[in-house]
Amino acid sequence: MPRIAIVDIMRETGLSRATVDRALNARGKVHARTRALVQETLQRLARPQTAAASPAADILLRIGQGLMLQLRGAWERARPEGRFLDLRRADEATVLAAIEAHCADLSRPLIVTAKNTDPVVARLAEARRAGKRVIAFLSDINPAARDAFVGIDNRAAGQTAAFLIGRALGDGPTSVGVVVGNAAFRGHEDREIGFRTTLRAQFPKIALAGEAFGEDDSDLTREAVTRLMRDQPKLGAIYNVGGGNRGLVEALRAAGRGDDLLVVAHETNAVTTPLLRDKSIAYALASDPAVLLAEALRVAADPSASAEGLDFGVYTRFNLPSFAS
């Protein structure tokens, strides 16, 4: 059997050295799915290879900056055969044109994060009928337009945010706000629905007083939250379902609320981690981007594969995960 180094498993899975070490040596807490991924990778690398085993897929992402950087790094470590397309600042016409171009080639699956709009759904559904395999990633889309969805349970994430805020604010009447990238993202919609329904059911004295739409962009989020704070200066908390967290915090600081307003956000990355450390964000809900990508590549490559909602954690400045960067 060839000797397999930890760096080999890191390269194939996109996991950190610490996570691989814990999974191999049963040290600390490692999710069963992550442990299985490491063991499967170890066994595969130990087998004689007669051909390149790199997964083949294209990925098209319309997400925030911090998560984009993490996924690009995981993609480069996994080295799949395919194209990585960053559409973070793209308008809808550009996104649709990119989907058109990728759907013209039926040979590789497409992993896609995009808005759940009629033109996007129609084009992807047409491509699927022609034989294209489509994996909705991070944010779900109409089932007619994809073969599977890989991501966390976004409704449960919104419920978790409501629980954290409700328990932190106590029994007194107060109000909260929500920052949404765009309601056309199914993942954002699901998080907001989970948040609203849980507030109503479990914390009836907390009123949802306003929304800000920031398109996962720092500048647009700053402008939207500035307007929200002007209209609702006494908010007790804000839940950001998407990206643009740097702009969110800048707007709160400009309004004099940078130190006393509870913020719950998503992801632990180069943008959010410093904001967690300086207490601008209290809680971040996150899942390891490398694990998410590895699961998407697995499901994309295997037509018989089924996908389940992946786990996410609740992180503070005291328990930042190994994948935070």
DSSP annotation string for 250-315: HHHHHTT-TTTSEEEEE--STTHHHHHHTTS-SEEEE--HHHHHHHHHHHHH-TT----PBP-EEE
How confident is the model over 49-81, as pLDDT tens digits? 544 456 799 999 999 999 999 999 999 999 999
Statement: residue 1 has pLDDT above 50? no
Higher pLDDT, 43 or 94: 94
Residue 54 confidence (pLDDT): 64
- pLDDT at position 16: 82
- Residue 44 pLDDT: 75
pLDDT number for residue 8: 80
User: What pLDDT, on the 0 to 100 scale, is given for residue 55?
Assistant: 79
% of the chain surpassing 70 pLDDT: 97
Residues across the chain? 325
Q: How far is CA 230 from the centre of its chain?
A: 29
Output 47 or 70, whichever has higher pLDDT: 70
Cα atoms in the Cβ-side hemisphere of radius 13 Å centred on 223: 8
For residue 52, the model assigns a pLDDT of 44
> Would you place residue 277 in the very low, low, confident or very high pLDDT band (cuts 50, 70, 90)?
very high
Structure tokens at 110: 């497409």
Residues 6+ apart with CB under 8 A from 144: 121, 125, 128
pTM, two decimal places: 0.83
Q: What pLDDT does residue 11 have?
A: 73
pLDDT tops 90 at residue 147: yes
CA angle 63, 67, 72 (to 5 degrees): 95
The two tokens of residue 226 are: 């500035």
Task: Give pLDDT, residue 120.
Answer: 97
Q: Give residues with Cβ within 8 angstroms of 130, minimum separation 6.
A: 103, 106
- Compute the mean pLDDT over every residue in the chain, rounded to the nearest whole number: 92
To the nearest 10°, report the CA torsion of 144, 145, 148, 151.
-120
Assign 281 a pLDDT band (cuts: 50, 70, 90).
Answer: very high
Instruction: Give the residue ranges of DSSP H helices in the chain.
Output: 6-13, 17-25, 32-46, 65-78, 92-103, 118-129, 154-169, 186-202, 218-231, 245-254, 272-277, 289-301
- Mean local confidence (pLDDT), 27-39: 82
Q: pLDDT by residue (tens digit) across 225-245?
A: 999 999 999 999 999 999 999
Q: Which of 3-12, 157-166, 188-197 has the lowest mean pLDDT?
A: 3-12
- pLDDT exceeds cutoff 90 at 312: yes
pLDDT at 148 over 90: yes
pLDDT on residue 317: 97
